[in-house]
Amino acid sequence: MSCSPILSHHTPICHEQFFPRGVKSAYAERLLRLSSEAEAALRPGAPRGTLRIGTLESTAAARLPPLLSTYHERYPDVQIELVTGDSTALLHRVRSFDVEAAFISEPFCAEGLEAQEAFTEELALIAPKTMAPIKGARDLRNRTVIAFATGCSYRRILEDWLSMSKVVPERVLELASYHAIVACVAAGSGVAIMPRSVLARGPRGK
């Protein structure tokens, strides 16, 4: 009986020796990473290896620092890698085994995946100071909505809220950071929605 060794990233082999032409090297890298993690899991003692976590950038900035600090103190041999993106992209990464788990925001469809509530995020609708008080969705008629690209859960929440009152934004201005969104709202370009935790820490990232 022969024993098949578990391959790791440090094994000096060429991926093309084991995978047919046309198979992306990223797939080979993923299998090698999983083999390395499996090898680490079989070792006795504290966990070690790489833990890849997907997260919204707002969560990474406002929620994860104390959690990651505590985790690192308990398991110093585990290297944590954060992968950021919107909820749709992160769900895809979990399903394709690019990350072990992900922090995302409702609403989402996680059929076939385990889901557990991590924390409750309070959202705030922000508008220019010169704008009259907002009492309902109809007050946003003919207004520009400033948001991340399609796939952002918070944008979907705002659009669903407007849709319930049959309100369609005049247009949607898509930006790539909360800092830019807040700046445009302050300049009077439109309204936006974001977590209060991000506003409390200052708008950085997604």
- What's the pLDDT band for 200 if we cut at 50, 70, 90? confident
Distances in Å between the alpha carbon of 191 and those of 4, 147, 184, 187, 206?
Answer: 59, 9, 9, 10, 16
**pLDDT above 80: residue 67:** yes
pLDDT tops 70 at residue 202 = no
Q: Read off the tokens for 116.
A: 């557990």
Q: Residues for the chain: how many in total?
A: 206
| Window from 41-45, 55-59, 164-168, 188-192 with minimum mean pLDDT | 41-45
- The structure's pTM equals 0.67
Taking the C-alpha atoms of residue 75 and residue 90, their distance in angstroms, rounded to an integer, is 25
The span from the CA of 17 to the CA of 20, in Å, is 8
Pick the more confident residue, 47 or 172: 172
Task: Please state the separation of Cα 68 from the chain's center in Å.
Answer: 15
Checking if the pLDDT of 41 tops 70, the result is no
**CA nearest to 8, candidates 42, 31, 41:** 31
Q: Which residue has the tokens 């006795």?
A: 44
Which listed CATH number (3.40.190.10, 3.30.70.2860, 3.10.20.30, 3.60.15.10) goes with 123-201? 3.40.190.10
Domain assignments of the chain as residue spans, ordered by start = 15-103, 123-201
Asked if the domains 15-103 and 123-201 are classified in one and the same CATH topology, the answer is yes
Q: CA-to-CA distance for 127 and 33, rounded, in angstroms?
A: 46
Residue 72, SS3? helix
CATH superfamily of domain region 15-103: Periplasmic binding protein-like II (3.40.190.10)
